[in-house]
A and B are shown apart, each in its own frame.
Chain A
Amino acid sequence: MPKDNGIGASPKRREDVRFLTGRGRYVDDIKLQNQCFAVFARSQVAHGIIKSIDTSEAEGMPGVLAVFTGEDFTEVGGNPAGWLIHSRDGEPMKEPKRPVLAHGKVRHVGDAYAAVIAETYEQAVEAAEAIDADIDEQDAIVDMAAALANSDNLVHDEIETNQCFDWGWIEDNRAATDEAIKNAPHVTTLELINNRLIPNAMEPRASTADYNPGTGHYTLYTTSQNPHLTRLLISAFVMGIPENKLTIIAPDVGGGFGSKIFHYGEEALVLAASKKLGRPVRWTASRWESFLTDAHGRDHRTTIELATDKEGNFLAFRTSTLANVGAYLSNFSTVTPTILHGTVIAGNYTVPLTYVNVKAVFTNTAPVDAYRGAGRPEATFSVERVIDKCARELGIDPIEIRRKNFIKKEQFPFLTAAGLEYDSGDYHALMDKLEEMADFDGFEARKAESAKRGLLRGLGINTYVEACGLAPSNLAGILGSRVGLYESATVRVNATGNISVMTGSHSHGQGHETVFPQIVADMLGMSADDIDIVHGDTSKIPFGMGTYGSRSMAVGGSAIVRATEKIIEKATKIAAHMMEAGDGDIEFNDGVFSVVGTDKTVTFPEVAFKAYIPHDYPIDKLEPGLEETAFYDPGNFTYPSGAYACEVEIDPDTGKVTICSFSAADDVGNVINPMIVEGQIQGGLGQGIGQALVENCVYDENGQLLSGSYMDYTMPRADDMPFFNVDQSCLTPCTHNPLGAKGCGEAGAIGSPPTVINAVVDALSHLGVTHVDMPASPARVWAAIQAAK
């Protein structure tokens, strides 16, 4: 049995008390003395040449302190892409500059071309509206295929194409894959759209900069999932502010889902404005700005082919994808549709050949980047949809065709056709568990009962495997990463025996303040109540790569383990001195050091005290103090997996899809806090079901965002969701990190969209429907039913 608050326990979350009493401290809650406000002037057209910007009226308005345009930032650097991707011909991707404020051209609706700083928010809004920008509207480039076909109308004139790259994975497998598909007894082809989504963290982005002219030091409070990465981008690429002169604080952050990984121009603007004025400058996005300017997600158009023999053994997957990167390259926009997508295209299967081709396309739309799952949902949707279609074509049960092709438990570690070595997993066990959870045997009876009510019932199943816990730095470097992907932790044992843990991971809902102390408490045999987590402040934490890619526990948690091991190692030496024994004779159990074979003991707090009051201390061998730092760089990605089932009812008269049940068996590796893991899975399921049934980002042909508010972009509501039946009992530990943890943050969002659509298609298959694009809205489902009649 786990201790009340050690590994495996589910203590109540300590952060909840402040959130439940209104004592959270989000960026917009921070009010600094003498603050002023920034408001941006944003393009109302998708594509236009900036002929002139007249700021004179705005500058004379009440309360206005400064007005900035793109001209003010021509000397600073562009906001870079974090990964360099090469095209199939070896050419590096096209990297047009992404400026702080639009200069020369505006490239999407919402592209900021000027900013006003004023005493009050209202004054800044009014002055921003008074800026007179003469923008010569150009034809908008919205459709990806048209963008590639037309080299006369370019998002970025200087790169002479709308194509960012044409990537192949694995290029050496291309010919063999083509050959296998050409000669295969059966080939199933499916064209599908992975619908564009808007992340919609409930807290809008916000940034407040505070420059101190007396010290030359900048402090930026910002909504970030990774404050050190943001500092690195601002320091090394965009502004040139030395890292030692820039503190970034990401306090309580109200959700991220990827959209707050990235550095945005607003952060640079408020820093520059604060320096110019010598005052704190505060900016908070309105929701309409979030819709227009947060990095969006997904937006793939894919053709996938699955070659099989007559018995349904997989011979090859081949995909061809157009991936929208929007108007500018956001920081992870080039790795998301490539490495994070192509390397998992083999799914859970022993398929011997895979080949992925991705053409990334610039358009006059908001930047597109990593969103919960980032590339892996796109791969999983393609693979699992085409498998379902193939099973139907071959008359094989969709569960059986998957089982037939699963990597077997005894085959791990398994090198897939897509080039990753999965360390562990048991996909058959997950499917066994799912069959037990979802009562497949009772489905026909439930279907008959639905039919009596005039409803069409469908059962969808799905399996997934994802690569997360990003990543080994050396592998990431080979693949094009411009940064390392380790995590840091410092464990500081205070003189009185309690502990502060500084972590480079960042919690914006994941519960790190509760779950990380569980690890240290277990290792040191103390109460988690005496351990606090410090995160989100570059001045307090050595370094960090932050939280995304389900990496916090697998990488950040492992760094905490390594630092705590160093603490135990040093404390053991101090204990040996205190008990006049050799280091090798000391045992440490449950917070107590003892000399083997004697009754001599000292407690951990006694050792900590000695480390800080080193009167009688092995000073010739050991430094005083008890604080250790570790940087943990993982040996591999981690590979969570799962098997999901969903039942839907469809009203054929309206096309309305209702989810009747949803079961999810996930293998997330070892679980530190079951309550939090369940919550993460449920949240991911909610977002994935949202993508499958209700959410859709829509631009019209002029590049106007039609789904630009909560009246137009359907967010999943409570009454769109069922209760989820989730299970984490079929676990295979990760073999290469000290916790055996794989990650759970993205799983639900990866596994659920194909599950839902497989169920929808199952319900309609008797009509001849073979595919329904997401979101399976009533209009779309009704149209599919009519078209099939």
Chain B
Amino acid sequence: MSSVSMTVNGKSVTGEVEDRTLLSTFLREDLHLTGTHIGCDTSQCGACTVHVNGKAVKGCTMLALEAEGADVRTIEGMANDDGSLGVIQAAFQEHHGLQCGFCTPGMVMAADELLKNNSNPSETEIRKYLSGNICRCTGYHNIIKSIQAAAAQLG
């Protein structure tokens, strides 16, 4: 076991992990941040997407130890300071961009990165960008609508 320290959603955290412990496992099992979901074992579904030093990363593709000293943000850190939904989260609710909610945290984290890098993405750009995030419920229609609405609002 090794000690690991990082900042998660603005708070300093420290834990003891095995060398093989994935970042996603550390977040869920040690920090109890269960909003980051595990949907596959081949790093393809995107349900575990979090931000590491500002970049969207699949939490199952990183060892917890690799995040030593990193600034990590999870879905639990995406709401406004007053607890209200952030712009992307609110757009997903407004446009029914989620059903079962399991892929949703990853979708929100991916959308946040997309809109940071491209404030006015085309429909095609959004669809291509989400190729690493699988949703089984929505047919993606309302996810795309939600992201378009968030983009419009964020300007």
Interface residues of A (CB under 8 A from B): 12-13, 15-26, 28-29, 31, 122, 200-204, 252-255, 257, 284, 286-288, 508-511, 675-676, 678-679, 682-687, 689, 709-711, 715-719, 721, 723-724, 748
Asked if residues A679 and B136 are in contact (CB atoms below 8 Å), the reply is no
Asked if residues A16 and B41 are in contact (CB atoms below 8 Å), the reply is no
**Cα distance A13–B101 when bound, in Å?**
11
Return B128 CB to nearest CB of chain A, in Å: 5
Per-residue 0/1 for B3-24: is the Cβ within 8 Å of any A Cβ (1 yes, 0 no)?
A: 0000000000000001010000
Asked if residues A683 and B131 are in contact (CB atoms below 8 Å), the reply is no
Return B58 CB to nearest CB of chain A, in Å: 12
Instruction: Please name 20 further chain A to chain B contacts, defined as beta carbons within 8 Å, in addition to the given A202-B134, A683-B137, A718-B143, sorted by A numbering.
Output: A18-B101, A20-B78, A20-B98, A22-B36, A25-B34, A201-B100, A202-B39, A203-B100, A252-B101, A254-B39, A255-B100, A257-B136, A287-B42, A508-B100, A509-B101, A511-B99, A683-B138, A716-B140, A717-B131, A718-B135
Q: Which residues of the other chain, A, contact B151 by a CB distance below 8 angstroms? A: none
Residue in B32, B37, B41 whose beta carbon sits within 8 Å of that of A31 in the complex: B32
Q: Max chain A CB contacts within 10 Å: which of B47, B124, B139?
A: B139
**Cα distance A20–B133 when bound, in Å?**
16
Per-residue 0/1 for B65-108: is the Cβ within 8 Å of any A Cβ (1 yes, 0 no)?
A: 00000000011101100000100010011101011111111001
Q: Which residues of the other chain, B, contact A508 by a CB distance below 8 angstroms? A: 100
Q: Max chain B CB contacts within 10 Å: which of A21, A29, A511?
A: A21
CB nearest to B125 among chain A residues: A719
CB nearest to B34 among chain A residues: A29
Asked if residues A15 and B140 are in contact (CB atoms below 8 Å), the reply is no
B120-135 at interface with A (beta carbon < 8 Å) = 123-124, 126-128, 130-131, 133-135
A26-B102, A510-B99 known; A21+B127 contact, CB < 8 A: no
A21-B75, A201-B136 known; A719+B128 contact, CB < 8 A: yes
A200-B136, A202-B103 known; A26+B37 contact, CB < 8 A: yes
Interface of B, secondary structure class, is: loop
Return A705 CB to nearest CB of chain B, in Å: 14
Interface residues of B (CB under 8 A from A): 18, 20, 28-29, 32-42, 44-45, 47, 74-76, 78-79, 85, 89, 92-94, 96, 98-105, 108, 123-124, 126-128, 130-131, 133-144
Return B123 CB to nearest CB of chain A, in Å: 8
Q: Which residues of the other chain, B, contact A721 by a CB distance below 8 angstroms? A: 127, 139-141
**Cα distance A257–B105 when bound, in Å?**
20
Asked if residues B142 and A255 are in contact (CB atoms below 8 Å), the reply is no
**Cα distance A31–B33 when bound, in Å?**
12
Asked if residues B40 and A509 are in contact (CB atoms below 8 Å), the reply is no
**Cα distance A724–B153 when bound, in Å?**
23
Asked if residues B126 and A21 are in contact (CB atoms below 8 Å), the reply is no
A255-B136, A683-B139 known; A711+B42 contact, CB < 8 A: yes
A683-B137, A710-B45, A723-B141 known; A16+B92 contact, CB < 8 A: yes
CB nearest to A678 among chain B residues: B96
Asked if residues B92 and A203 are in contact (CB atoms below 8 Å), the reply is no
